[in-house]
Amino acid sequence: MAKITFIQHNGTEITADGIAGMTVMETAVKNQVPGIDADCGGACACATCHVYVEPEWQDKVGKRNPMEEDMLDFAFDVRDNSRLSCQIKVSDALNGLRVKVPEKQF
């Protein structure tokens, strides 16, 4: 189990229990976190689960994979710490992870 905190655009925080093996996107959807649309359901095919990983967590979360890099072309305001949350697997090492949700997945 890993606590994952989703920080909304307006500053509201929602902390959800992530289960190892699930993705951060699935954790968000299961807990009805607003702002994670996940149109394609986790196939890395839509870029509507875009999050910004808080800088202190970037190393632990790791880098984007090449398919994700391509899909991020469909996201808006892509930054160094942008990730698609369907490509981040929850593990005990990510207990306490904090990610920001963009204003809109549009």
Q: Which amino acid is at 19?
A: I
Contact 106, 11 (CB under 8 A): no
Residues 2-61 that bind another protein (CB under 8 A): 37, 39-41, 43, 45-48
Nearer to another protein, 29 or 53 (CB): 29
Write down the residue that tokens 């990983």 correspond to: 53
Residue in this structure with the two tokens 């500053």, named with its chain if needed: 11
Token pair listed for 69: 């890099």
CB of 95 to another protein, least distance (A): 28
Instruction: Catalog residues that contact another protein under the rule CB under 8 A.
Output: 37, 39-41, 43, 45-48, 70, 72-78, 103-106
